[in-house]
Structure 1
């Protein structure tokens, strides 16, 4: 099998099972986080007044990634950017909005969401391993997606891809093209409720286990309250999505 076909085959397989990647990262990250809490001397900010600021920075990075996803999803039409796992789907090419700056903004958003969590673990080697693993993993997926789009849309796709970087955005905003669709909060609430709840749940989880290991009760109650609020919001949105048409929007 030629390398190109092998990359595409691997990418399609990884695309199908990409929802398991967060579980792997979380499990490994938890081990490193526990190690940092048990051996605070391994992380220079552990048990210092600056630790809380570092944790807030990590949360900000994760939320920044979520904002990228929200902006991306909010301006896309149906059957383009989504969470489908069975096969590649694309009724059209997204070329406006953030897609005029980067070809894979959702994966860019995912990277920042998980980078914040990786940094929170307080181990530089885990951060480096995460970055390398993420790149190898998603490089295959991006390759497979682009092969699919190239075959389906031909020259239209090639023309757009030649002037738009794959992963690192083109920050020359003179190339920015206004989104073709208005922002849809309904689509965002329907599609991104998982990410919002997951970010605060993971950060609250790490905060609680960290305090318990140190035999402290200085819990971050603000973080815990936001975690509870986003969890209930997730349940409400999940119910609305399953049992009503409130979040449905034609063409989105």
Structure 2
């Protein structure tokens, strides 16, 4: 069956889901070099940053509140879930992390000012993550049965329903946000987002002969972000500072 084939492909893509953005780096930099003049306007660049940071917030809000054992990242073992999470961001959409990913991607893509590129990336994102989402949902449906079916009928997959409607009824997460867990999980993605904006600004400035990306302030910002990334990576890999008991599978 077609659904079974898509699920099988989704299980394969699930293991490599972190690497697709790397494929988009070369064309994104090229688009940044060829950015239209209006894309250099401060209001447009601030807006693109806003979209990217909104995606980062969605991911942080999701990860910071998620209960232990509700989602897995272990690419060698596939998917892990001990309970079904239907609260917090999961009460608005079934795949809030992928919604956050899309917004982060769009923030960078919009910074190029190329709407045709934004459309292509959106279509690629749908083709790629739809299969991963189908694999995840097949796994959850098989494990949680009727509870999952009821939740999936009530909550949309990626796009929140109209605010105030039954399909956008917010249910509080029920636990305090863990910023340590957010830092542990999201330092890579945050640094990649910031580095992406710096890189696009550099190629965009170079494309119009503007050396603003070489100013001391620009370079201090990049060095500061890099040092923060290295500190967080050290804390994650070599210490227990960012470890939150019971969050091993989230």
TM-score calculated relative to the size of structure 1? 0.89
Match of 1:8 in 2: 7
Q: Choose the corresponding residue for 1:165, options 156, 162, 174.
A: 156
Seen in structure 2, the aligned counterparts of structure 1 residues 69 and 224 have a Cα distance that, compared at 3 Å, is: farther
Q: Choose the corresponding residue for 1:58, options 31, 37, 48.
A: 48
Q: Are the aligned partners of 2:34 and 2:204 in contact in 1 as well (CA < 8 Å)?
A: no
TM superposition shift of 1:155: 0.9
| Whole-Å separation in 2 of the counterparts to 1:110 and 1:209 | 23
Match of 2:65 in 1: 75
Name the stretch that deviates more: 126-135 or 84-93.
84-93
Q: 5 Å matches for 1:57-136?
A: 57-86=47-76, 87-136=78-127
Structure 2 segments unaligned to the other structure (5+ residues): none
| Whole-Å separation in 2 of the counterparts to 1:46 and 1:154 | 48
SS of the residue aligned with 1:218?
Answer: helix
Q: Choose the corresponding residue for 1:189, options 183, 198, 206.
A: 183
Match of 2:211 in 1: 217
| Whole-Å separation in 2 of the counterparts to 1:57 and 1:150 | 38
TM superposition shift of 1:127: 0.8
Structure 1 segments unaligned to the other structure (5+ residues): 37-42
Match of 1:142 in 2: 133
Task: Describe the superposition over 1:98-142 as per-residue Cα deviations: whole angstroms up to 9, x where unpaired.
Answer: 111110000000000000111112212111111111111111110
TM superposition shift of 1:223: 5.4
Whether 2:171 is the aligned partner of 1:177: answer yes
Seen in structure 2, the aligned counterparts of structure 1 residues 175 and 231 have a Cα distance that, compared at 3 Å, is: same
| Whole-Å separation in 2 of the counterparts to 1:80 and 1:21 | 24
| Whole-Å separation in 2 of the counterparts to 1:88 and 1:210 | 40
| Whole-Å separation in 2 of the counterparts to 1:60 and 1:83 | 27
